[in-house]
Structure 1
Amino acid sequence: MNELRESILSVGVADPETAVSVHALLGSDPDLLALAGDLPQRRSAVDAWVKTMFLRPEGPFLEIAASAVEDALGEAPDKAVDETLAAITTRPRTPYDLRAVTGLAEADLDVLLPHLEAAGLVRADANPLDPEAPFWTMDHRFARFHYAMLAEHLPRWRRGYITDKLWRMTHARYDRYVCRPEFHRLAREWALNDPAAAQTTRVTVPDPRFRQLRTIELAAWNAAGEPIALGTIRWKFQMVERQLKRLRYVKRLLGDPKARLYCIAPRVEAAITADPDPDLFVIGPAQLLRRGANESANAPETAPNGDLHPISRLVGAQTRRVG
């Protein structure tokens, strides 16, 4: 149940945010890790390591990432493939979303998406509110890095003359499109440790009042298809109270079910930690990677009978109760 957590821990980087950042690029493949030199051990060292290993022409991974899609498909990607994968890199997309962004016909996507999935480039994540429209998500680390960082300026990256300038222009894309999806997936896997959770997904909820779709990145569902937990996630930066208010708003759009609320971030505003809601939990990266007290490596999470909040006991979540 905790394959991603164990894979991240196996990288051997103690700092949780740094470990997620490294794993988002290399996974835990020993051959790739052997090429990566000394791994960064703190968050402040990640930028220099990424530039050296992935963005300089003499680095071992620039050309691997640049050719990742061609290697996976066995042929150079055409325009439709490039546009589809670039769109999926920025966020998970439903088929309707992809039709709007790429201009491809439904029949074309019906052929293309399974082809990309078979090549290991994308995966279809469940969409409980619309099972016929799954969230197509990037599933290939080097391809994700290519579209997030390399594709637009590849000739310049290869020349290597203005690497530092290009990094300043694009480094936010590394956090947003490379690291953040890994953190989201880790959070969803963690939420599955709740014995009542049968599935965890992202969810997009219609907002009739404002004629918009509201998305939250974590929803846990029981076997009956009812939401039992909803979460908002913030990678790298401090979570502000506005995100918690937005989470509660989405909860009301879903009919205000009896569900726990998770604020998952490395840091949160004081207003969130001071919130008196007994069903609100604040979760940090270290807690997502923490094993249970009696759990050995690769063992499943367990909780004793009668534990009302097994997740908080196992991973150290914070909960506040009035009185």
Structure 2
Amino acid sequence: MSNEVADAISAGRAVVALESTLLAHGFPPGDNLAIAAQLERTVREEGAVPATIAVLDGKPTVGLTADQIHTLCTSDDVAKLSLRDLGPAIGLGRTGATTVAGTAALAHAAGIGVFATGGLGGVHLPAGDDPVSWDVSADIGVLAATGVLVVSSGVKSVLDIPAKLEALETRSVPVVGYRSDDFPAFYLRSSGHRVPWRVDSPAEAAAVFAAHRELSDSGMLLANPVPTDAEMDHRLHDRLLAEAMEILRSRDVRGSDVTPVMLEHFHRASDGVSVAVNEALVLSNARVAAQVAVELAG
């Protein structure tokens, strides 16, 4: 851990974990560096300490420096590390950006209880002629076993959202809407599916998570919709989604390759609109996470 993060955790101050895969693989080069700086600045503005997480030359690192973030955002050889990949990357001395699952695991190990990201992984829609999909993100299992509060804008609409919500319910992971009764779909404020619980302030979110972790080892999902003024136009979204689904089918794209292929199409075909939406929701999630972390620390 960086000295700043270690000191904050030791003193019981608010700390927010930040994912590195969205920087290394989620945003275009150049944009990722600017967004990384904005994320950390946003967390600090709310009185919390940011802790961007990655594995650097085999060393799990919690609280990256500006130079380390620059290297991560500009290198061509950065692996994408879920929890299953941490051991191989550490053992082989590799450098990698951590996904939601990888970040949550390392944050929990470091003693950080709040984590901000863009979107959570989920259950993929069936591919080809398959009647059902067995492609389920590791994010679900890790959240079920790791006591971290994840603030995200739901999941991307390319996923099977009802199946995702059912998977979380089966694993006793609370899904709580932040100032919304609807579960968000990343670029859109509503997926058309309701959330079972709602909170309207950081204090309420902190109270719910504090009560939950007294009773369970699982984490909690705080679903924070993209800001109203940043939501993608619904017609544009539906067109891009249909095109992305056709690309996935025609190329038989599956597993961890689905999200990068889909994001690349959204970025290219929306003339930058999707990048702007992604940036707005990630910054909003970082701000909410920092506010909740401050309440928890208090």
Which structure would you say has the larger Rg?
1
- Give the structure-2-normalised TM-score: 0.27
- Give the structure-1-normalised TM-score: 0.25
